[in-house]
Amino acid sequence: MKRTIAGIHSGEGGKADREARRMRDLLLRRDFLRSGLGLTGVYPLCCLSPELPPSAVLWEKDRLLLDLTAAAPLKRIGSAASVADPARKVNLLVIRSGKNQFAALDRTCTHGGAMCAYQHRTRTLRCTSLNHAEYDLQGTLLHGRTHGNLRSYPVRRKGKTLEILLEGRG
């Protein structure tokens, strides 16, 4: 039997038409949610930590050097960017909390492994999972039922280079 949108709207047909209506309602609801999120500017927190471009990152044995002139995601005070190397088991969030204030912490929440994102208003890292564990810029757990603090790494600025000491994990 050939069905039409008009037929679906008029309610004709049996089980197949009910299924088609259910699918149409699901799609409409999905489109509504998408457009609503877009209109209000609300995006998942995990989307707020862009990756640093490879041209800004130099991995060395015990440290990571970031070229701030090539690290566009870190130009603004209050910004944060991720840098990861699965082979080294490193997944960091690098934060610029002031003109010359930077922090580097593990990005993976100690509770269930969800990613953390930086909230400049509170100067904290917040887990993007529903439990929303929160950590300060030293990695200390502020609240949330997790398995402890985030690891933080010593950071030094030398001119236009940011040095992150991977062996000096806090």
Contact (CB, 8 A) for 94 and 52: yes
CA 32 to chain centre: 24
- Here's the x/- map for ligand FES, 144-163, by CB under 6 A: it reads as x-x-----------------
What is the C-alpha to C-alpha distance for residues 144 and 86, in angstroms, rounded to an integer?
A: 27
Candidates 34-42, 89-97, 129-137, 154-162: pick the segment binding ligand FES (CB under 6 A). Answer: 129-137
| 91, 124, 129, 140: residue in contact with ligand FES (rule CB under 6 A) | 129
Within 88-117, the residues that bind ligand FES by CB under 6 A are 109, 111-114
| 119, 124, 131, 149: residue in contact with ligand FES (rule CB under 6 A) | 131
| 45, 64, 71, 133: residue in contact with ligand FES (rule CB under 6 A) | 133
Please measure the distance between the N-terminal and C-terminal CA atoms of the chain and give it in whole angstroms.
Answer: 68
**Which ranges in the chain belong to alpha helices (H)?**
5-10, 15-40
What is the C-alpha to C-alpha distance for residues 136 and 134, in angstroms, rounded to an integer?
A: 7
Write down the least CB distance from residue 107 to ligand FES, Å. Answer: 11
What is the C-alpha to C-alpha distance for residues 63 and 47, in angstroms, rounded to an integer?
A: 26
Contact residues toward ligand FES (CB under 6 A) are: 109, 111-114, 127, 129, 131, 133, 144, 146
